[in-house]
Amino acid sequence: MSRPEQFTINTDYATIKNDGANNSLSVVVPSSVSVAGGTIYSVSDVVSVGSVSSNIRAQVWSSKDDRWVLGAAVSYSRMGIASGSPASYEVLVTVTRESSTTVRLTAFIRNPYNVTLTGASGTETIHAEVRTFLSPFV
Amino acid sequence: MDARNFSISSDYPIDKVIYMTSGSVTISGYNYNDVTIPHGLPFTPLTTDIYSLTPSFDTSYEYNSGPVQTDPLLSSPFLYNTGSESDSTNITLRHTNNSPSSVTIYYRVYGFMPSTVNEEAAWTASVADNFVMNSDYNYTKLFDAGVTAYSDIPDSIETINHNLGYRPQVMAWSEESSVVYSRNFTSLYPDGSNDGGAIYIDENSIIFQRQFFLFNASRLHYRIYIDE
Over residues A17-39, the pLDDT tens digits come to: 888 788 999 999 998 899 999 99
Which one, of B182, B29, B216, B1, lies nearest residue B108 by Cα?
B182
* Residue B184 pLDDT class (50, 70, 90 cuts): low
- SS3 of B203, please? coil
pLDDT higher than 80, residue A105: yes
Least confident piece of the model among A11-20, A101-110, B93-102, B213-222: B213-222
Q: How far apart are CA B14 and CA A2, in angstroms?
A: 16
Can you tell me the mean pLDDT for A57-65?
Answer: 89
Q: Cα(A26)–Cα(A131) distance, rounded to whole angstroms?
A: 15
Contact A54, A19 (CB under 8 A): yes
Taking only the tens place, the pLDDT of each residue in B126-167 is 766 666 666 667 778 889 999 988 888 877 888 999 999 999
Amino acid at A84: G
pLDDT at B188: 45
If you average pLDDT over residues B73-88, what whole number do you get?
87
A71, A77, A131: residue with CB nearest B169:
A131
Q: What is the pLDDT of residue B58?
A: 95
Contact (CB<8Å) A9/B8: yes
What is the predicted pLDDT for the residue at B190?
37
ipTM of the complex: 0.90
β-bridge mates for residue B121, sequence order:
A2
Chain A residue at shortest CA distance from B190: A65
A4 part of contact set with chain B, CB < 8 Å? yes
Distance CA B185, CA B168 (A): 18
Name residue B200's beta-bridge partners: A69, B207
- DSSP code, position B77: S
Interface residue of B12, B21, B41, B73 to substitute, partner A, most A CBs within 10 Å: B73
Q: Angle at the Cα of A138 (from A136 to B2), degrees rounded to 5?
A: 65
Hey, is the C-beta of A84 within 8 angstroms of any chain B C-beta? no
Question: How many angstroms separate the CA atoms of B217 and B200, rounded?
Answer: 21
Other C-beta atoms lying within 10 Å of the C-beta of residue B11: 12
Of B188, B191, B190, the closest CA to residue B211 belongs to: B188
When the pLDDT of each residue in chain B is averaged and rounded to a whole number, the result is 84
- B216: closest CA of chain A, how far (Å): 23
